[in-house]
Amino acid sequence: MSDAQKPIYGGQAVMEGVMFGGKRSLVTAIRRKDQTIEYFHSKRKSSPFLTKLKKIPFLRGIAAIIEASANGTMHLNFSSERYDLDPSEDATLAEKKESRLSLVLGVATLGVLSFLFGKVLFTLIPVFLAQLTRPIFSSDLSQILIEGLFKLILLLVYIYVISQTPLIKRVFQYHGAEHKVINAYENQLPLTVENVQKSSRLHYRCGSSFILFTVIVGVFVYMLVPLDPLWLRIVDRLLLIPVVLGIAFEVLQLTNKVRDIPVLRFLGYPGLWLQLLTTKEPSDDQVEVAIASFNELLRIESEDIQTEDKIV
């Protein structure tokens, strides 16, 4: 199979595990307290409206973010409920009154809302901080640059602080394991622990890169709208969130497409540098979980294709 035909896979780290997503399915593998590996499967869900949006440049990024937030939060919820629970206590989970359907819908909606709430805070706090420097940096250009600087500092400080907690450090290790598996797969290496560990923990398509690109893109987009008065600046920033997200997504896709071109691969370097904070070198047993998750996804996707072929 050529690189052009090869499916594109992505994923995310969860509590004590890794989620991988393909065209049709998503799979999470986690390490339980008794050292066994447990899986959680789900079909990739997307509304007809989002499916249409994903075909439109600059809008497809918004659709992809909403879908990823909804699907990813479901799997993160699974891992957070079970990773620290002894398998003998699994029966307690089954006693929950809430139906699975309402649980899935509730968690998915919570994931999308949490992302939007975080994005609003991340957008507005730098605005107020920059406004405080008006007496020193009075020009519009300097204000936009200062705002972008505050946003970058806020991002880096936040990531650094949470990375110091043991729990998040392990999540970042699984994040590194996820990237290593994808890199090994894309380089057509057998997915053994040894091969995966030799692969890079950085990847051009990472969501961490996307977050950084929103900061960079925002600086240029904000140059097109007025800064005064303050209320208008706030309204502009809120209304431009979808625009910034949409453009940043296209930039992310572009850097991934040109990563093998020597003159252009540097375009993705800022995102890779941020990943030095958001990923950590994983242990062999963490890599084993990531490989198990990815292989399970490949198995399920293969079965889906065979089923479709029989139906046809």
- When the pLDDT of each residue in the chain is averaged and rounded to a whole number, the result is 84
**The pLDDT value given to residue 177:** 97
pLDDT digits (tens, 9 = 90+) for 86-137: 776 666 655 554 444 444 445 445 555 566 677 788 889 999 999 999 999 9
Torsion angle defined by CA atoms of residues 124, 129, 130 and 136, in that order, rounded to the nearest 10 degrees: 170
**The pLDDT value given to residue 306:** 61
Mean pLDDT calculated for residue range 215-222: 94
Residue boundaries of the structural domains of the chain: 10-85+96-311
**The pLDDT value given to residue 85:** 75
pLDDT digits (tens, 9 = 90+) for 178-208: 999 999 999 999 999 999 999 999 998 888 8
pLDDT digits (tens, 9 = 90+) for 131-148: 999 999 999 999 999 999
Residue 240 pLDDT more than 90?
A: yes
What kind and span of H or E run contains 38? strand 37-43
Name the residue with higher pLDDT: 44 or 138.
Answer: 138
**pLDDT category of residue 213 using cuts at 50, 70 and 90:** very high
